[in-house]
Amino acid sequence: MPDTVRRSFGARLQLAMDTRGQLCVGIDPHPALLAAWGLNDDAAALERFSLTVLEAVGEQAAAVKPQVALFERHGSAGLAALERVLAACSEAGVLSIADAKRGDIGSTMAAYADAWLRDGSALAADALTVSPYLGFESLRPALDLAQASGRGVFVLGLTSNPEGASVQHVGGDHSVAARIVDAAAAENSRELGRAAAAGSGSLPLGSTGLVIGATVGTALTELGIHLAAAHTPILAPGLGAQGATGADLRTTFGAAYPNVLATSSRDILKAGPSRDALRDAAGQTLAGLAG
């Protein structure tokens, strides 16, 4: 990783969003997409697919998000391909978010953190998605290592899958989702406080983000969740093929919309394998996010 990794992830993400816009392109090499591109369903094709996407959209997207499960299904060869894709992101200066949704306790969580967030790890990404449903503090090894290495985490907060409400909405005015949001905001408050005390000035965004589905609709309001003052990056999957538009995101997130990193995958990826077509699809998506 280059020296810029020593800057906080929140600061680097803010700069990327200010410079390129609020788009994260998912790198999701589904078998059907590989076939549509005329590629085999193997590790070599995954790498070709991913590097084509990176080359096409790397100058437009604030970040890219490889879906780790689609590499894992090819075993060690798939993970080796992912290692090369993450290295290529670093070389190109494009932020990478490993969508692995890791979550466990104790030494196991520490091992996940070591794999994805440690300097020198072949799988090190700029940020990692994590699951807090063994308790937010179970994520402590990842939270601490991310801070130490200038990386970030995105914590599952409020998802749009139908089953999510059965867990995340429990508690009414003090829902599980609201408590996760509050815990992430507290992490960012401590980070910003340390930066201010060190004379680094205040950071626009902290490095502990939240995953909140782009299609959650009115759930944030119904659960009394307020995001605007939290300095929390928001990774919002669901743009495009899953139904959400830029206008929907502005309505859903309101005053917190400037902190939203909207993710589109299939809606852009289906334009491949032409790099020009991928660029055009990303550009159209960015235009929709800008309003």
| Residues designated catalytic | 101
273 preceded by cis ω (within 30°)?
Answer: yes
Helix (H) or strand (E) holding 262: strand 260-264
User: Of 219, 197, 220, 194, whose CA–CA distance to 207 is shortest?
Assistant: 194
Per the DSSP assignment, residues forming a β-bridge with 63 are 24, 95
| Neighbouring residues of 227: CB distance < 8 A, sequence distance ≥ 6 | 181, 210, 212, 220, 234, 253, 255, 256, 259
CA distance 290 to 283: 11
Nearest to 130 by CA among 174, 184, 77: 184
